[in-house]
Amino acid sequence: MRPVPAAPPILALLVLLAPGGCAAPPPTAPGAAAKRPPGQEQAPPPAWRAFGNEPFWSAHVEGGRLLFTAPEDMEGRAYAGTATVLEDGLQFEGAGVVLRIRAGACSDGMSDLEHAYTARLQLDGARYAGCAEAAK
């Protein structure tokens, strides 16, 4: 048997740079976190932030808790409830509160940012509309 000659260095470089050889991974779904355990990359985010203006408000949902804040109440009000993952978003329900987050283009009306989710919040009889995103 004769030894096989080594490939010239340029050939090895071309193999590495060939299309598909170092292709970028496919994009993840909106809201999918990059630091998820293997097999859960496409799972819905564990926490969400909904927000709006006129009036300004924000709601942070994680697990069975929703924290609502507004400029006049920066400490916020906490609500216990149940978060249900939907095909296109999330619904949180508790005593005096319902938050629905759905996939759909949303602009907050004040910035040029386009968000991937809409939010509708009913809180102690008041109604709020705004956008939502995976919490950071």
pLDDT digits (tens, 9 = 90+) for 70-117: 999 999 999 999 999 888 999 999 999 999 999 999 997 778 789 999
Task: Determine, yes or no, domain membership for 10.
Answer: no
Q: What is the pLDDT of residue 25?
A: 36
The whole model's pTM is what? 0.67
Task: Determine, yes or no, domain membership for 103.
Answer: yes
| Better-predicted residue by pLDDT, 97 or 10 | 97
Count of the separate structural domains present in the chain: 1
Q: What is the pLDDT of residue 44?
A: 57
Task: Determine, yes or no, domain membership for 8.
Answer: no
Q: What is the pLDDT of residue 23?
A: 39
Burial class (CB in 10 A: 0-12, 13-18, 19+), 106: buried
Q: What is the pLDDT of residue 48?
A: 94
Task: Determine, yes or no, domain membership for 97.
Answer: yes
Task: Determine, yes or no, domain membership for 92.
Answer: yes
Task: Determine, yes or no, domain membership for 26.
Answer: no
Residue 50 has pLDDT above 60, yes or no: yes
Task: Determine, yes or no, domain membership for 83.
Answer: yes
Amino acid found at 2: R
Q: What is the pLDDT of residue 26?
A: 35
Q: What is the pLDDT of residue 20?
A: 41
**Residue range of the domain that includes 129:** 47-134
Burial class (CB in 10 A: 0-12, 13-18, 19+), 134: middle
Q: What is the pLDDT of residue 128?
A: 95
Task: Determine, yes or no, domain membership for 29.
Answer: no
Distance separating alpha carbons of residues 12 and 95, to the nearest angstrom: 64
